[in-house]
Amino acid sequence: MTDAKPLDLPRSGELPRALVPAALRGPERLQDRLAAHPSEHPETTKADYAALHEHAGRLAAARGLADTLDTVLASGAALLGAPRGLITTTARGSARAVGLGLDRAELGALETVPAEHGPFAGLLSETGRPGRLLIADLAADPAADPAVSPRLREVAAQLGLGACYAQPLATEADGPLGTAVWFYDEATEPEPYRRRLVQLYCELAAPLLATQLAAERARQSTEALRRGLLPDRLPTVPGLRLAARCVPAGLDHATSSDWYDAIALPDGSVGLTVGSVLGDGPGAGPDSAPGAATAMGRLRSALRAYAVLEGEDPVSVLGDLELLLKTTEPSRSATAVYAWVEPDEHRITLAGAGHCPPVLVTRYGANFVETSLSAPLGMLSCWEAPRVELGAERGDLLLLYTEGLARRFGPTLHAGQAALRRAAADAPRDVRHDPDRFCAHLLTVCGEPDSPATDDLVVLAARFA
């Protein structure tokens, strides 16, 4: 075990408050829970409790549900001296199985064992029940241990499992959250002090797991909301090929909610738009994300109506959108670009509101269409924007995007926009001829962010056929 400075521990095995990381302290302290079940554990050393404190600190530093589950498995394995493990959550909408030292095939084999006969049998519906050894000796007569189902014994033999120790994860407030099980290669049994350490650790882990599961459910709900607010398909327009991509930022880091849309207008023209509603800032957390997503949905729906009424005048469309934003979301601002495209005439009329300038990709290269001379919507008492008109040729491609894409290309917004323009110009010819492949190419070239993205990433490409 880890060497540690001597600590004054009560002989009852109570974990001192100084050993419990601040992030893991709650109204019901660990000492209070232990006091309800006093016992003597002279074999548990101060170094053991110091190791428990170290693992609790790692748990407190975990970020997100996946990281929390991985940490619980790894720390439990270290405390028990077990090489492999499996954790299953039971919360609605967040159920998942995560393995340690198990490849995908091995994890899948364990999942074929019915829950009522598997290593979690009897624990998934109980709160606070101590863990227990389930598979004691695989070589023994199956009738000697009826708790081990034939299917579990078969899978365990295939995977070389000699024994396992399972521990429930539950709180009084949330009920059962899941169960963790750690596997041994031999028919062995963890020492009592190791069991005690893992039980203490799981008591610490359960409240944090409950929080992470709740955050995961909120994230899934918000992601479903955001997906529902964006178009599920783009219109088919003669003379114009369209494609789009949207990569949302993580809810814990999101600072905005972006949209894209393509509106087929009655006269055969098309309105193209991308935009971003600013959220509540970095670190605001998943609770603020639905508000930004809902505001984005309202603006996008309104913009569709404005496009039908006066789509040939992008300045009027964005002006109406700004008035709506001030009326319905006075504390928010938004950036947007709207382009009115006439496929037959190969003509583009557009305006922007503090948004990244579009890129027009031609046979001669790629150039910005400057539309960022205006402030974002909702920032000034009276919003105005210049109107930009330009012609295009067959094969030219208009690229609209949000800030998230540009920031993936460079350390600053300006550098990212310049790198994005170069990447668009350098795209292979056959890629430029297919808007869908072009969008995929840009996402591949920009790569993964070095840190969690704070901006949604939206790209909309339109090629004149």
> Longest C-alpha distance within the chain, in Å?
87
In CATH terms, is domain 230-464 a member of 3.40.190.10? no
Beta sheet of 347-353, edge-to-edge order: 256-264, 270-278, 334-342, 347-353, 388-391
Same-fold call for 17-221 versus 230-464: no
Q: In this predicted structure, what is the pLDDT of residue 129?
A: 55
Q: What is the pTM of this model?
A: 0.61
Q: pLDDT at position 362, please?
A: 95
* Pair of tokens at residue 376: 């974002």
Task: Show the low-confidence residues of the chain (pLDDT under 50).
Answer: 1-23, 25-41, 124, 128, 136, 138-139, 253, 281-288
Q: Output the CATH code of domain 17-221.
A: 3.30.450.40
Look at residue 352 in the predicted model and tell me its pLDDT.
93
Sorted by where each begins, the domain ranges of the chain are: 17-221, 230-464
pLDDT digits (tens, 9 = 90+) for 25-44: 443 444 444 344 334 445 55
Give the pLDDT confidence score for residue 190 in this predicted structure: 85
Asked if residue 350 lies in contact with residue 358, where contact means CB atoms within 8 angstroms, the answer is: yes
Alpha carbons 216 and 286: distance in angstroms, whole number: 9
Sequence-separated (6 or more) residues with CB below 8 Å from residue 129: 122, 123, 168
